[in-house]
Amino acid sequence: MLYPEPMARLMAELGRLPGVGPKTAQRLAYHILRMPREQAQALADAIVRLRQEIRYCSRCFNLTDVDPCRICQDSSRQQDVLCVVQEPRDVMAIEGTREYHGLYHVLHGALSPLQGIGPENLRIKELLSRLQHEPIQEVIVATNPTVEGEATGLYIARLVRPLGIRTTRLAQGLPMGADLEYTDEATLAQALVGRKEIS
Protein backbone atom coordinates (compact mmCIF):
# COMPACT_ATOMS: atom_id res chain seq x y z
CA MET A 1 0.00 0.00 0.00
CA LEU A 2 1.43 3.38 -0.98
CA TYR A 3 0.67 6.17 1.49
CA PRO A 4 1.23 9.82 0.68
CA GLU A 5 4.63 10.76 2.07
CA PRO A 6 3.48 12.77 5.15
CA MET A 7 1.19 9.93 6.21
CA ALA A 8 3.88 7.30 5.70
CA ARG A 9 6.34 9.40 7.64
CA LEU A 10 4.03 9.88 10.63
CA MET A 11 3.32 6.15 10.68
CA ALA A 12 7.03 5.36 10.61
CA GLU A 13 7.66 7.75 13.52
CA LEU A 14 4.77 6.40 15.58
CA GLY A 15 5.93 2.86 14.86
CA ARG A 16 9.18 3.64 16.65
CA LEU A 17 7.36 4.15 19.96
CA PRO A 18 7.45 1.29 22.45
CA GLY A 19 4.48 -1.07 22.17
CA VAL A 20 3.32 0.43 18.87
CA GLY A 21 3.34 -1.98 15.95
CA PRO A 22 2.55 -1.19 12.30
CA LYS A 23 -1.20 -1.73 12.76
CA THR A 24 -1.44 0.56 15.76
CA ALA A 25 0.73 3.15 14.05
CA GLN A 26 -1.65 3.13 11.10
CA ARG A 27 -4.69 3.50 13.34
CA LEU A 28 -3.13 6.37 15.29
CA ALA A 29 -2.09 8.14 12.09
CA TYR A 30 -5.65 7.96 10.73
CA HIS A 31 -6.93 9.18 14.07
CA ILE A 32 -4.60 12.17 14.02
CA LEU A 33 -5.60 12.91 10.43
CA ARG A 34 -9.27 13.14 11.45
CA MET A 35 -8.61 15.29 14.54
CA PRO A 36 -9.63 18.94 14.56
CA ARG A 37 -6.64 20.92 13.31
CA GLU A 38 -6.13 22.69 16.68
CA GLN A 39 -5.97 19.39 18.53
CA ALA A 40 -3.32 18.02 16.18
CA GLN A 41 -1.40 21.25 16.55
CA ALA A 42 -1.61 20.99 20.36
CA LEU A 43 -0.19 17.46 20.22
CA ALA A 44 2.70 18.57 18.01
CA ASP A 45 3.38 21.59 20.25
CA ALA A 46 3.36 19.43 23.38
CA ILE A 47 6.00 17.17 21.89
CA VAL A 48 8.20 20.07 20.80
CA ARG A 49 7.84 21.88 24.15
CA LEU A 50 8.65 18.70 26.03
CA ARG A 51 11.98 18.45 24.30
CA GLN A 52 12.70 22.17 24.50
CA GLU A 53 11.76 22.81 28.09
CA ILE A 54 12.26 19.58 29.99
CA ARG A 55 15.78 18.72 30.99
CA TYR A 56 17.58 17.00 33.81
CA CYS A 57 18.26 18.87 37.04
CA SER A 58 22.02 19.41 37.21
CA ARG A 59 22.01 18.45 40.89
CA CYS A 60 19.61 15.51 41.32
CA PHE A 61 19.05 14.55 37.66
CA ASN A 62 15.30 14.50 38.02
CA LEU A 63 13.23 15.85 35.13
CA THR A 64 12.60 19.55 35.46
CA ASP A 65 11.65 22.73 33.62
CA VAL A 66 13.90 24.88 35.83
CA ASP A 67 17.42 24.17 36.95
CA PRO A 68 17.99 23.33 39.79
CA CYS A 69 14.62 21.59 40.01
CA ARG A 70 11.82 22.72 42.32
CA ILE A 71 12.61 20.03 44.87
CA CYS A 72 16.30 20.95 45.01
CA GLN A 73 15.36 24.62 45.34
CA ASP A 74 12.86 24.07 48.14
CA SER A 75 14.73 25.07 51.28
CA SER A 76 11.92 23.80 53.50
CA ARG A 77 12.87 20.23 52.59
CA GLN A 78 15.24 18.24 54.77
CA GLN A 79 18.71 18.89 53.37
CA ASP A 80 20.41 15.96 55.13
CA VAL A 81 18.44 13.01 53.73
CA LEU A 82 18.93 11.78 50.19
CA CYS A 83 16.73 9.21 48.49
CA VAL A 84 18.38 7.36 45.58
CA VAL A 85 16.00 6.08 42.88
CA GLN A 86 16.36 4.54 39.44
CA GLU A 87 14.02 6.70 37.38
CA PRO A 88 12.28 10.09 37.50
CA ARG A 89 8.94 8.29 37.69
CA ASP A 90 10.09 6.83 41.04
CA VAL A 91 10.42 10.38 42.37
CA MET A 92 6.80 10.99 41.37
CA ALA A 93 5.72 7.77 43.10
CA ILE A 94 7.49 8.68 46.35
CA GLU A 95 6.30 12.30 46.26
CA GLY A 96 2.78 10.89 45.94
CA THR A 97 3.08 9.35 49.40
CA ARG A 98 3.74 12.76 51.06
CA GLU A 99 5.81 10.80 53.61
CA TYR A 100 9.16 11.96 52.40
CA HIS A 101 10.54 15.46 52.76
CA GLY A 102 14.21 15.07 51.87
CA LEU A 103 16.13 15.32 48.59
CA TYR A 104 16.50 12.91 45.68
CA HIS A 105 19.14 11.53 43.38
CA VAL A 106 18.08 9.85 40.14
CA LEU A 107 20.45 7.20 38.76
CA HIS A 108 18.74 6.78 35.38
CA GLY A 109 18.85 3.02 35.35
CA ALA A 110 20.25 0.03 37.18
CA LEU A 111 23.36 -2.09 36.76
CA SER A 112 22.88 -4.70 34.04
CA PRO A 113 26.14 -6.15 32.71
CA LEU A 114 24.13 -8.24 30.23
CA GLN A 115 23.04 -5.01 28.58
CA GLY A 116 26.42 -3.40 29.04
CA ILE A 117 25.22 -1.07 31.80
CA GLY A 118 27.96 -0.56 34.36
CA PRO A 119 28.43 2.00 37.16
CA GLU A 120 29.88 4.50 34.67
CA ASN A 121 26.55 4.55 32.78
CA LEU A 122 24.60 5.63 35.88
CA ARG A 123 24.75 8.91 37.80
CA ILE A 124 26.86 7.33 40.53
CA LYS A 125 29.95 9.53 40.24
CA GLU A 126 27.64 12.54 40.60
CA LEU A 127 26.06 10.95 43.67
CA LEU A 128 29.43 10.51 45.38
CA SER A 129 30.37 14.06 44.57
CA ARG A 130 27.11 15.31 46.16
CA LEU A 131 27.82 13.27 49.28
CA GLN A 132 31.14 15.06 49.58
CA HIS A 133 29.77 18.54 49.12
CA GLU A 134 26.36 18.40 50.76
CA PRO A 135 25.59 17.82 54.45
CA ILE A 136 23.92 14.43 53.85
CA GLN A 137 23.46 12.28 56.98
CA GLU A 138 21.36 9.46 55.53
CA VAL A 139 21.10 7.85 52.12
CA ILE A 140 17.88 5.92 51.49
CA VAL A 141 18.42 3.38 48.74
CA ALA A 142 15.07 3.06 46.95
CA THR A 143 16.08 1.14 43.85
CA ASN A 144 13.50 -1.30 42.50
CA PRO A 145 13.24 -4.69 44.21
CA THR A 146 14.24 -6.44 40.98
CA VAL A 147 17.49 -8.43 40.75
CA GLU A 148 19.20 -5.50 38.99
CA GLY A 149 17.75 -2.93 41.38
CA GLU A 150 18.90 -4.87 44.43
CA ALA A 151 22.41 -5.30 43.07
CA THR A 152 22.58 -1.59 42.26
CA GLY A 153 21.39 -0.72 45.76
CA LEU A 154 24.03 -2.97 47.31
CA TYR A 155 26.72 -1.54 45.11
CA ILE A 156 25.81 1.99 46.17
CA ALA A 157 25.56 1.04 49.83
CA ARG A 158 29.10 -0.35 49.66
CA LEU A 159 30.35 2.94 48.25
CA VAL A 160 28.47 5.12 50.71
CA ARG A 161 29.06 3.29 53.98
CA PRO A 162 32.83 4.01 54.15
CA LEU A 163 31.96 7.72 54.04
CA GLY A 164 30.34 7.34 57.45
CA ILE A 165 26.85 8.08 56.15
CA ARG A 166 23.87 6.10 57.39
CA THR A 167 22.53 3.87 54.60
CA THR A 168 18.98 2.52 54.67
CA ARG A 169 16.72 0.77 52.23
CA LEU A 170 12.98 0.58 51.88
CA ALA A 171 11.39 -2.00 54.15
CA GLN A 172 10.34 -5.27 52.54
CA GLY A 173 6.68 -5.68 51.81
CA LEU A 174 7.09 -4.50 48.29
CA PRO A 175 6.03 -7.31 45.99
CA MET A 176 9.23 -9.01 44.82
CA GLY A 177 10.09 -8.30 41.22
CA ALA A 178 7.74 -5.34 41.07
CA ASP A 179 8.55 -1.85 39.91
CA LEU A 180 8.19 1.02 42.33
CA GLU A 181 6.00 2.85 39.89
CA TYR A 182 3.33 0.14 40.10
CA THR A 183 3.29 -0.02 43.86
CA ASP A 184 0.29 1.62 45.41
CA GLU A 185 1.01 4.64 47.52
CA ALA A 186 -0.05 3.16 50.84
CA THR A 187 2.41 0.27 50.53
CA LEU A 188 5.12 2.61 49.43
CA ALA A 189 4.48 4.99 52.34
CA GLN A 190 4.73 2.07 54.75
CA ALA A 191 7.95 0.87 53.13
CA LEU A 192 9.43 4.34 53.58
CA VAL A 193 8.51 4.58 57.25
CA GLY A 194 9.84 1.07 57.96
CA ARG A 195 13.12 1.47 56.09
CA LYS A 196 16.09 -0.55 57.41
CA GLU A 197 19.84 -0.18 57.74
CA ILE A 198 21.77 -2.00 55.03
CA SER A 199 24.09 -4.38 56.83
Which residues of the shown chain bind another protein in the complex (CB under 8 A)? Answer: 21-23, 111-114, 118-119, 147-148, 150-152, 154-155, 158, 176-177, 182
By CB under 5 A, residue 82 contacts Zn ion: no
Select the binding partner of residue 49 from another protein, Zn ion, none (C-beta < 5 to 8 A, by kind): none
> Measured from the CB of residue 52, what is the shortest distance to another protein in angstroms?
32
> Measured from the CB of residue 106, what is the shortest distance to Zn ion in angstroms?
8
Indicate the residue among 4 and 18 with the shorter CB distance to another protein: 18
Indicate the residue among 102 and 153 with the shorter CB distance to another protein: 153
> Measured from the CB of residue 159, what is the shortest distance to another protein in angstroms?
8
What is the C-alpha separation between 51 and 3, in angstroms, rounded? Answer: 28
What is the C-alpha separation between 101 and 156, in angstroms, rounded? Answer: 21
> Measured from the CB of residue 8, what is the shortest distance to another protein in angstroms?
15
> Measured from the CB of residue 66, what is the shortest distance to Zn ion in angstroms?
9
Select the binding partner of residue 59 from another protein, Zn ion, none (C-beta < 5 to 8 A, by kind): Zn ion
Residue type, position 165, single letter: I
Please list, residue by residue across 4-20, b when 16 or more beta carbons sit within 10 angstroms of its beta carbon and e when fewer do.
eeeeeebbeebbeeeeb
Q: Which of residues 37-66 bind Zn ion (CB under 5 A)?
A: 57, 59-60
What is the C-alpha separation between 193 and 33, in angstroms, rounded? Answer: 50
- Cα within 13 Å of Cα(119), Cβ side: 13
| Helices vs. strands in the chain: H and E counts, helices first | 8, 7
Measured between alpha carbons, how far is residue 49 from residues 11, 58, 63, 64, 156 in Å? 21, 19, 14, 12, 35
Indicate the residue among 113 and 164 with the shorter CB distance to another protein: 113
- What is the contact surface with Zn ion in residues (CB under 5 A)? 57, 59-60, 68-69, 72
